[in-house]
């Protein structure tokens, strides 16, 4: 299934981790992610905002007694226009939403593998994340397909080897992996998603002959 890839909109919690100082709300160490991103100007059509310097004034809380961070797994328009109280969203954030543009739909394929991935290039065996289809000619063709509204037959993708990065992800000697790429903007039907997922399988197989034989479970 395909999902619209949110383009720099989860400004309430786009920082990945807390430190003990963040949990205490120490103004010298930086406020929690909610407040740090709240104080930055939101530009939905660009990369995530750079955290602003913390204020010397203790930040307010939207929900007293319920913590200082909100994880919002929704789109920016829904979050800022529908879910939050109107007086909780700065006017600059609301006005910036007029320029909000959805990114390309994303297709992600998950794999459970019986053994390590048989990469042609030995150097890829220890990488946590691999870029496939990234040579100059392939990128041009891929972008041409996306621009023309065609499901790419040779997609550029990111490929994650989760057990290589963290052995706790799957039993010893196996691999847990994923791959994702994009569909053209406005193309988000299941048939197109399945076609792209099949193309992803083929690209991985080209770089790792015998990959399909190692797959014991797969979801998309």
pLDDT tens by residue, 28-67 = 333 333 333 333 333 333 444 444 444 444 445 555 555 5
Exposed, middle or buried, 118 (CB in 10 Å: 0-12/13-18/19+)? middle
**Residue 122: half-sphere exposure toward Cβ, Cα within 13 Å:** 0
Q: Which residues contact 124 (CB under 8 A, 6 or more apart)?
A: 117, 130, 207
**What are the extents of the domains in the chain?**
1-102, 105-219
CA 143 to chain centre: 19
Task: Please tell me what DSSP assigns to residue 40.
Answer: S
CA-based nearest residue to 30, from 41, 18, 14, 48: 18
Contact at 8 Å (CB) between 109 and 1? Answer: no
Instruction: Output the pLDDT for position 34.
Output: 34
Could you report the per-residue pLDDT of 135-178, keeping only the tens digit for each? 888 899 999 999 999 999 999 999 999 998 888 888 999 999 99
pLDDT digits (tens, 9 = 90+) for 178-201: 999 999 998 989 999 999 999 999
pTM above 0.75, yes or no: no
């Amino acid at each position: 299934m395909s999902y619209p890839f949110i383009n720099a909109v989860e400004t309430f919690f786009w920082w990945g981790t807390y430190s003990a100082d963040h949990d205490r709300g120490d103004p010298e160490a930086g406020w929690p992610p909610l407040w740090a991103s709240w104080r930055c100007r939101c530009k939905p059509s660009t990369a995530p905002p750079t955290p602003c310097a913390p204020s010397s004034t203790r930040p307010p809380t939207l929900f007293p007694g319920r913590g200082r961070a909100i994880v919002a797994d929704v789109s920016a328009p829904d979050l800022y226009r529908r879910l939050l109280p109107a007086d909780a969203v700065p006017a600059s954030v609301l006005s910036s939403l007029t320029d909000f543009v959805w990114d390309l739909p994303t297709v992600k394929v998950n794999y459970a593998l019986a053994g390590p991935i048989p990469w042609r290039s030995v150097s890829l065996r220890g990488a946590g994340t691999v870029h496939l289809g990234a040579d100059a000619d392939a990128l041009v063709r891929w972008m041409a397909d996306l621009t023309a509204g065609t499901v790419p037959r040779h997609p550029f993708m990111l490929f994650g080897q989760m057990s290589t990065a963290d052995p706790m992800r799957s039993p010893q000697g196996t691999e847990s992996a994923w791959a994702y790429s994009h569909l053209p903007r406005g193309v988000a039907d299941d048939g197109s998603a399945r076609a792209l997922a099949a193309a992803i399988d083929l690209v991985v197989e080209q770089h790792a002959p015998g990959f399909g034989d190692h797959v014991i479970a797969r979801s998309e």
